Amino acid sequence: MFVLKAPIDRLLDRLASRGRAVTALHVELSLKHAVRSIELRADCIKPAAPTLDGRALLRLVHLRLTGMPPVAPVNAVRVWADDVAATREQLALFTSKPRRDLRAADEAIARLRAELGDDAVVRAVLREGHLPEASFGWERLVHVARAQPEERLVRPLVRRLLTRPRALPPQARQVRDDGWLISGLEQGAVVRIVGPYVISGGWWARELHREYHFAELRRGDCLWVYYDRERRRWFWQGAVE
């Protein structure tokens, strides 16, 4: 059902832009019985009246697949529709209805908290921390806020941090830029390392001096590592995607 939701939503968007509504939804499943043994299953699901209501269509699809489940793993899906001219009311409802139901999201979160505890659902918040791992924290999420995405011409990179920096095996300085295996043979050795970017301080508690680097691996991964001068060893802080 999760896989089918996206193509159905895209189909409804295209139909609504042309002023059309669904009279019959066709769902084709590619069932893989074995290697080179593919069976196509086609279902035609008809709503009670022409509609642009994606939830109603998904409920009908769910009932069909629950009552007549696939007999083999689904390898691919395809959807298309028979359509007629939509009424003005249908188009207005489709335009005004938000894609995400915040009330339903809050109810889902409440169920998770009831089952798994109050700290089961959290969100990240920024903090005034000196170190990267201390620059953010987690707080309980009670209500879901509506997304407010910003248009960006350049897609931002994502920096993922490990829960705790991971100590790396000692490596001779002369092979750090050529042949250094940080995360195993699968990702390959380091082919280029950029840095250092220094973070130092901590005189009020414990002296700190980290030299951060971006290490590019042969497979194309970019890892974020640092050399701790006080502890005299390398650590893996995270990765950039």
CATH fold for the domain made of 2-96: Dna Ligase; domain 1 (3.30.1490)
* % pLDDT > 70, the chain: 90
pLDDT in tens, 100-156: 677 888 888 888 888 888 888 898 888 887 788 888 888 888 888 877 777 778 877
Q: How far apart are CA 211 and CA 213, in angstroms?
A: 7
Q: How far apart are CA 24 and CA 81, in angstroms?
A: 6
Range list for CATH 3.30.1490.100 in the chain:
2-96
Asked if pLDDT for residue 175 goes beyond 60, the answer is: no
| Residues 4, 77 contacting (CB under 8 angstroms) | yes
Report H helices in the chain.
2-17, 54-67, 88-96, 102-116
Q: Angle 79-84-89 (CA atoms, 0-180°, nearest 5)?
A: 105
Q: Residue 173 has what pLDDT?
A: 57
| Residues 138, 125 contacting (CB under 8 angstroms) | yes
What pTM was estimated for this model as a whole? 0.51
